[in-house]
Structures are given as C-alpha cells and as structure tokens.
Structure 1
C-alpha cells in the first residue's frame, strides 16, 4: 500500500481517471476542490471532459453543475468548458474558455461572495450535492484526508456530497501536514455559536478533512503540479500605487488610528498587491500579520524577512519561483502559515472583529466611490467578485487600487458612473491610483467627487471629469449626489463605439 493511501479499504478503490469519470452522470451537481489555481483535481475533470465529448457526438446530453472554492485551471474549468459540459458554474472563475462561454450566454454563471458559498450549500440553496471530487496530498489510516495546497470549500463538499472521488496527488508535498486548520464548529441558524478565533495565528480546528470512507466511489492517483504563472516584474505604476498606500499607513500611525504593526492584512493577487507587500518590507515595518484568502510570492518574502509573523489563508497563488521557494523552506513556512476553510478565511464576523485592512483591485470607480470589480462595460464578466466584498464591507479599512487608465490611455478607470456596481460607496474607504490617494472616510458624495478627481484621475481625463461634475451640479435636481443621467454611461458607450473614452 502506497504511503499516501494509508486506508486499506480506500486503497482497494484505486482506479484510473477514466474509470472514475464513468461514475459521473449527466445533470449531477459536483463540488470540486480548488482555489486560485491550487489544490484542484487534475485528472478526473479531463477524463470527464473526454467522456462528455464522446457522449455529445452520439447526440446525447451530458452537462453538470460545477461548484468550487474559487478559480481552478485549464485542466478543470477549461477542459469542461471546451467539452460544453458545464450547465452552471459558481462562485469565481478565471479561465478564458469558460469566461467566453459565460459571456456568450452558453452557460449560467453565479457570481457570489466567497463567504456565502458554504452556508448557501448548507441552506440547500444549490440543491443536493451529488458528488465531491477532491484533491488530497494523502489519505490517512482512518480515511481522513491530508488537504493539499488549498482548502476552500472541501469540508462542505465532503460533508454534503452523496458520493466522493479522491485524487491523491503525489506532487503535493507530505510536509503540508500540520499546516491546515479545519474547523468543524459551524452550525445552521439558530444554533450558531461564536467562532473562537481571536488572532490570525489561532488554531481552532483539526489537521485533516473528515471523510466517511463509505462515500468514496473511486481513488485516483496523480502526479501533476498546480497551475502557476510567473508574475510580471514590478512596474513603476504598481510601485507608485504602493508608495501612496504605504505613505497613508504612516499617516494613520502618526494620527494614532493604526498601530505600528498595522492590523491583519488582506491582499488581492497580482502585481499591485505584491508591490504593496514589497513596500511594507522596504519601509521598515515588522510584526505584521495577514488574515487573507491566498498566500502569494510577496507574503513568502515577508515571512522570510520576519516582516510578517503569520499568514492565515485558504490557498496559495504562487509563481514557479514562489513554489520553489516554498518547497525549499516548507518546514519554516509550516510554522507560520495556516490554511483554513474559506468559510473561516472569509468570514465577515471574523474580518470585522480582527479589523482587517482590505486591499483589492478594481476595474473602475465613479466619482462617489462606487466600485466595479467584475465587468467590462457593464455586461461582460471578467472573473468575479471573489472575496473582496467579504473584506470590503467588514474590514477596518477598505482600500481599492488600480492604475488611473487602461488600454494605453483609451480607458479611464475613474468614470462619472460605474457600469456595474460590486461595492457601493458605503463600503469603500480609500481609492488609490498611481496619481495619488483619495481618503473618502467622513466625506459627503460631493466632497468625495472633489478628492477623487483631484487625487486619483489621470491628467488627460481630469478636465473631462471636472466638467461633467460641474454641469451635474448645475443641472441636477438633487445636489446630494449630482448626476447627469443622460451622460452617466456615455464614456463607456463612446469607448464601445470608437475604442476611446475621450471625445
């Protein structure tokens, strides 16, 4: 019996991915592991996609509903999308083929807050969960699972699914053992109790995912890496955005509104986020903590440099260099990284109580601080809201970061009115571009518009925004939030018509 499959009964259920895929039926609702390209099943989805294609060629339907933790990878989302095998997908995605099919109306997509997924499943809002397909690093002697590089919603899928397929991935290091914290204390209303987590480094759960061996219909062995993409080198724009935010943190410390150790950090993924993390390191900060969703390259560096003492998350999102760094010092990182279920990592009450500083990207903001983080021109989904809303609504500070323009200046990321609203003005504290930082706290809508135009808009768009606002002030019947409704989305329409928001 392989050292990774330590339960005799489950070792007897080892089979090929193709054989396992034969146990999936048309119309099933499937909970799959995976969160931001980590810890997703690698083989069964591809075998299932091949079976779907063959079924479609016979003129028979074969589509399933796919629920995950967040985005996965081409081996899962891409393969099933190309096979026209997904009827419904939730809650977050980033695969180009999947996105294209969603935006062509060929499949349904439900974009919801990540903290809602597990509880909605328990409430029965998604119907019965027929099958869970979960990647694990190992199966323990009692049948429980050593989770791999993400936890996500795995606990919920294993608890609720009628049947389970386990992929045991030999690429995932066994040294992950001890990094996970799986909390089983949640309950349905009205029987909920307080979650006993007081600090980001608290451990409140178990090392392994519970699994009823009687549910398992197949075990598949794999040896395949997580999706990983190299981050682009930090550019001047990202560094400037990071510099404005770091300067703001210093200002808040001087005012006594933040401690020198700040508060637990939540950070989105990408160049700007890594630039902010690098700025914290270069700025002499220490004793920081993170209560976030994903561990990325920048956080590994902060942990190594002792700038960050602990990082609590539900998954990794590492470049190839980051994976090499992690594997090379995994014993060190195991003492400083905690991987939790996403119903804990994104829990609104914990975010509020811990006082997280939320730092997330956006597509655009309007003059009053409403944020669009998911759509192009109001209709085409990009990826999804993810967990940004969990932290924006409940964090101590809610910061949204973006370059002031896109498409080589043809698009302004500061617009008169956003074409889609993900985060309302009530949930936004700070907006940052490479031009500057607008602190919106305590400001009325008209005051917000003034600082957003002055401090965040690109110079080529600033006069246009000021002109729009001045005319809105003059012609608007209501001066609380001035709008020219007939022009509110004219910038977006102009871009669709001409390829440039500028007249």
Structure 2
C-alpha cells in the first residue's frame, strides 16, 4: 500500500501486521467492528483474531468476544469468527450461515434490534462498555481524521466510545470516495437533543470524515481486499410479477393524488425481490425519483446511471462484484448523487416520518390480518434479523412487504392463519404483495384485511384451506373482532414440521 493513504505521521508509525493488531484484543472483550451488508468491514484483523482464538482453544484456553457491527458483514469477519467459535454474543444483524447455525443451535447468543436503535442504546449504556473498535477506512488525513470507506454504519459511535481503536486502511477502496460521506455530530443524549437539521433527503448536515482520538489508536493495518456481496440472481417470473404489482399500485396512488408524480423517497431492503422492484422502476415511466435508504444495491445504481433516480442517501452499499467495478469506474458521477450517512441518521424514525419514505422490504410470512414475520423460520429459527425494516415500516408514509406466496417448493405458504413470530404488527403494515397480487390493507378492519389478503395474495394451492380456517374462525372464535381458532392458529407450521408440508391431507 502506498504511504499516501496514511498521511498522519504519528499513525504511520503505528502500522503493524494484522496479527499484531489482533493481539490487542483480549478474551471477553466487547469488540465493535465496521461493516454493513458486506461493505466496509475490516478484512484482515478478524481473520488474524480467529486464528489466535483457534490457537487458544487448541491449548484449552477459553477465548470468545462480544461482537457488534453496523449490520451483516462477510466471511472474513462473521464467518471466520463463527467457525473459530470465537463469538459469545452477536448483534444487531447477521447473514452468515455459520453464525446462523450456531445461533439456532443455542451456541451463540444473539440480540436482534432495530438498526436505528443500536447507536443510541450503546450510548445509553445498555450493553456495557466497548473495549475495542476495529474500523476500515479509505485513508487517514494529515489531521488524523478518517475517510470512511463503502459503509458508515455505527463507526462514529464505535470510534467515540471504544477504549482502543484499530484502523484498517484498505487501498482497494477507491480514494475518490472521499467527499461522498456526511457524518453528523449534532446528536446528544436525552433530554438535550436538538432537531436534526435535515429537510431534504440529499441535504448535507455534517462533515465528510470521522473524528478519531489518536491517543486511543493502538494499531494501523494496511490492507488491499475487496468488499464481498453476492451477485443478485437475475429476476425470475415470480419476482417480476411481485415488482409489477407494486409498481402498478404506486401508479394508482399517483393517479389518486395520494403520491406526487415522482413518488416520495424510496427505501429498499436488500435481496432479489427488492432489486427486481428497482429494475422495474427503470422502465415504469417514473422520473426524478429520490431514495432515503440504508443500502444501495445494483438496481439503485442502475437508476442513478439512467437518470430515473435523482439522488440516493444511504449508510452502505450492497453491490455485486460487477456493480462494484461500475461504481469505482464512474465514481466521480456517483459522488455527486450519493450521500453516505451514519446509521443513526439513515434509519432515524423522525427523519423517515418527516420525509415520508416508501418502505419496500421482504418478509418470511404474513398472516390473515397483516402481521408480518421477517426474521424467524417456524417461529424459532432466526434467519438474519429485523435490520432496518421496522424503522421504515412504522414511521414511513407507506410500508410494503414482499414475498413469493410459497416457499420450499410449495410446501410452505407465506400467508398463514397466524404468523409464528411477529416483527411488524398489523398496525405498521400497509401493503402485502406476492406474485398472486397485492393487498392494500389501509383503512380496513381485521376481517376486511383477511378477505383482501386471501383474495389477492394466497397461492391457489392454499386458498381454500385458508378460507375454510377463516370462515370457521368467524363462526367459532372466542371473539369476532380478530377471529382465531387458537388450537389451529399455528397448526400449519406444526404440520410442516411433522410432515414436510403445510397442505392438509
């Protein structure tokens, strides 16, 4: 790595190997690392730490850490530490299969939390002190300030509160990303908070770099490694139909005068279906769109390039390798149209409500009345976590949850009598969309919502079965407002566990 990335002489003197840096982390520490959806996470220190943990375990010595990040990371961080049995506690969001397996086996404690809550809960002291922060940056300026890389996440909080700081300076990250970030230092603890002075989604209210107490920096590590996000699967017929239903609904809302012609700021969860929605918007006729979201993925980059999207505000990227190369190749263009913020701003409930965001997120299942489960399979096994979907669902102008109507080769219905785990209550869910159709739940009573969901969202293989349940519930339930047959409400899930299918007979 060239010295130009580390311009502060005092920090240049602290350059060490990843192994030497990892040695600063002791068993039992709470370690806060950068990273958000496979971008901007430290590439070398976690691997070195995992190796040291494995060596300790081979010698019969206990060695685990409590790990916090912005959101999910990548195999070099979550994967390496999970395989080494090096994580005692993980929060707030993860997607790694090894970590997930350990969580669901009861071998790794996990706290699922709204992404907007993480920074402030740490400031409140809810999770104890942060011992070490490990932060990837693009460069260190002459004054010791840090140029963030491809995610910001909770890095400001980690740097402010950690007792020790380890910095990875990654030359793979484009130097020209400098200037894309907007780090706001105006937050305070209650009751002394002031309004956040952001009026438009692309306003800049902070500075382009992260502050860093140089006395806390114990090590600087030079790296040159790529972010790792999986390529998106090309849109199939199911995802295209889901996207088509949602886009047609948005056009209808514009025609009814409930949305402006350029909609309201968009938030999109990560995944193939939200990416298909973004791809559909490119050919929808909408123009001058805006995005105030957590993550920029391939589809949003395409919208910026085509001019359909005017700007995007985010806290990190989730770009495929090909999209990453496009971003780096034309970074001057994107730097004028992308603002990267701290996670506590990108997901801030008051800003989401004031800007009137349109939230588009995936789900595992929804029930008759519009309750949504976005985190747990069969009520008990965590998939990834709630992420930021709740921040936008409860506070946005409009919240849409998207899913195919079936899963596991049709053996699971995504629309069930009662969800096996509730992340988003019926009060926060406006629209449910499957490839079968779209259910607009706004202004409807519980029983009216049930009829709309059955008529528009349920797969034909399960429609009669769900109609039968609902009809009998309306007749026999303890109450008639939100009718449920308690012995049967979760029987579909139990049937799948017992027989491998939710179908009756």
Query: Separation in 2 of the partners of 1:111 and 1:145?
Result: 29
Q: Where does structure 1 differ by over 2 angstroms across 4 or more consecutive aligned residues?
A: none
Query: Separation in 1 of the partners of 2:272 and 2:99?
Result: 24
Query: Separation in 2 of the partners of 1:277 and 1:58?
Result: 51
Q: Which residue of 2 aligns with 1:335?
A: 336
Deviation (angstroms), 1:486: 0.2
* Aligned positions of 1:394-405 closer than 5 A: 394-405=395-406
Q: Which residue of 1 aligns with 2:196?
A: 195
User: After the TM superposition, which of the residue ranges 447-456 and 226-235 deviates more from structure 2?
Assistant: 226-235
Query: Separation in 1 of the partners of 2:321 and 2:195?
Result: 39
Q: Which residue of 2 aligns with 1:313?
A: 314
* Aligned positions of 1:104-123 closer than 5 A: 104-123=105-124
Q: Which residue of 2 aligns with 1:271?
A: 272
SS in 1 for 2:81: helix
Q: Which residue of 1 aligns with 2:323?
A: 322
Q: Which residue of 1 aligns with 2:377?
A: 376
Q: 1:297-356, CA deviations, whole angstroms, 9 ceiling, x for partnerless residues?
A: 101110011100000000000011111111111100000000000000000000000000
The answer to whether the aligner puts 1:247 opposite 2:248 as a matched pair is yes
Query: Does the 8 Å CA contact 2:228/2:321 hold for their aligned counterparts?
Result: no
Query: Separation in 1 of the partners of 2:282 and 2:14?
Result: 49
* Aligned positions of 1:68-217 closer than 5 A: 68-217=69-218
Query: Does the 8 Å CA contact 2:152/2:316 hold for their aligned counterparts?
Result: yes
Q: Which residue of 1 aligns with 2:38?
A: 37
Q: Which residue of 2 aligns with 1:54?
A: 55
Query: Does the 8 Å CA contact 2:186/2:196 hold for their aligned counterparts?
Result: yes
Query: Separation in 1 of the partners of 2:275 and 2:100?
Result: 25
Q: Which residue of 1 aligns with 2:261?
A: 260
The answer to whether the aligner puts 1:354 opposite 2:360 as a matched pair is no
The answer to whether the aligner puts 1:228 opposite 2:246 as a matched pair is no
Query: Separation in 2 of the partners of 1:271 and 1:95?
Result: 17
Q: Which residue of 1 aligns with 2:490?
A: 489
Deviation (angstroms), 1:284: 1.0
Q: Which residue of 1 aligns with 2:288?
A: 287
Query: Does the 8 Å CA contact 2:36/2:69 hold for their aligned counterparts?
Result: yes
SS in 2 for 1:409: coil
Query: Does the 8 Å CA contact 2:37/2:229 hold for their aligned counterparts?
Result: no
Deviation (angstroms), 1:60: 1.1
Query: Separation in 2 of the partners of 1:477 and 1:219?
Result: 64
Query: Separation in 1 of the partners of 2:320 and 2:55?
Result: 35
SS in 2 for 1:79: helix
Q: Which residue of 1 aligns with 2:411?
A: 410
Q: Which residue of 2 aligns with 1:426?
A: 427
Q: How many residues align?
A: 503
Deviation (angstroms), 1:275: 1.4
Query: Separation in 1 of the partners of 2:273 and 2:217?
Result: 42
With structure 2 as the length reference, what TM-score do the two structures score?
Answer: 0.99
Deviation (angstroms), 1:228: 2.2
SS in 2 for 1:425: coil
Query: Separation in 2 of the partners of 1:469 and 1:66?
Result: 44
Deviation (angstroms), 1:58: 1.2
SS in 1 for 2:89: strand
Q: 1:453-481, CA deviations, whole angstroms, 9 ceiling, x for partnerless residues?
A: 00000011000000000000110120000
